[in-house]
Chain A
């Protein structure tokens, strides 16, 4: 059956949706949705066609928006995004993951919520903020945010989350307890001798390798990493890349050894693509070697960055790769990164890109 390839784009001013057929050559664009609220993450459930968008505006607080008709109509819920009285309230919803019949939501200030009724009501997963390291969590430039949620595909009790700036945490008991999973990742902004703490790393993004739940890839404030044991021990894979700094990571949908990063010029050097020349970097061997993918991307006067949730792959046989810039341009590749084209431009700051492939 023919497929519809749908790109879900979260921006500073609402949700946008781009669509194409399997050829992924011509794209339509619609939006902004969600009342043009700041939207941090948009995901789709291909089994139901439902789209979920997480965000929050300055007036009315955190919300998850939901559409059952590919964006034509939306509902919104902020029910239950409550911390204990006296604590700093939840400001915004930042990340989403749908798995095993539940919708998990990461928020700012960092915490995890879960919905068992498809995004109508949310319940705080209190154990994460009860972690002994909680008092040491500090905001990164984007705030104290829980930006990555990685569910185990088979085990509903297992889940990884990542917080800037606190690190990676893992639960194997359905959220009753969380353990830190940061060994081997560097906190390069700490003094010498203190750069490998148990927690406090500024993780920017974690993704899971295809068909291999024990393998995660991580983009950190200082370094790119891989683990093959669910995060018990990370190893550096940044050798061969132009910098140690970047935000997003994307795993190939079918090949556990293929991963994509977009290194920027550095944390204090401007945070744009090195030398003003855009490239996505791909490894076919789990991070041992890297190649720059530039064909079709701007190679002069490009001074954009790509934020932590703004790169994704589709799941077609020859995978599509997509990323959105903080200057509002969305690029796509229909050949695993070998060549690139522009999907949309002049959008607001792009916070996130995800894909959903459904039957036509």
Chain B
């Protein structure tokens, strides 16, 4: 037993262990997702995160140690976001043909996300700092954190809410769209990108390139629209 612990401590000192665990946990999540008959509630990201958090807590591993390994995966988010230009380039004719509808739906969805989040939490008695962190939660993390900070809220709380929103949308969005009989791939992608940023976009890409292209575009445009409009609207409403 003591040998096992020594080896664990030794391996924990190198990035290899937590990098490998991240990849293993995610693939275990994918396997469970497949075994569940592709049940959207068995989301690979959520399974991997839950398993890794449980492991880190059980072994008393600090987050900084974990991140020394995981940063190699995390780093790829940047170039992967840039690469979203590729499906967009391939699908640009579809985007062009639906541009006015896209712009209108994007603004409606963006306002619905921020407005309903603040309205519901406010009705349930949430404090001001919570409301500020909730308003930009459908936007990609760096923008949401900057917005929350600019309005006098907590950027770290905003980051937590952004991730939870992404996973919620990726899990519940596709069954909801099925229920509403939204079968148009453009509409499905746009909805996931507007409401659930990159995590929703990843989910849309797993379904089709059309959905992925619209989701990636929606994520970028929603970040821009929210960054420009939310501070103005917040001052109007909260005075």
A, B: real partners: no
Point out residues on B near A: beta carbons under 8 Å: none
Point out residues on A near B: beta carbons under 8 Å: none
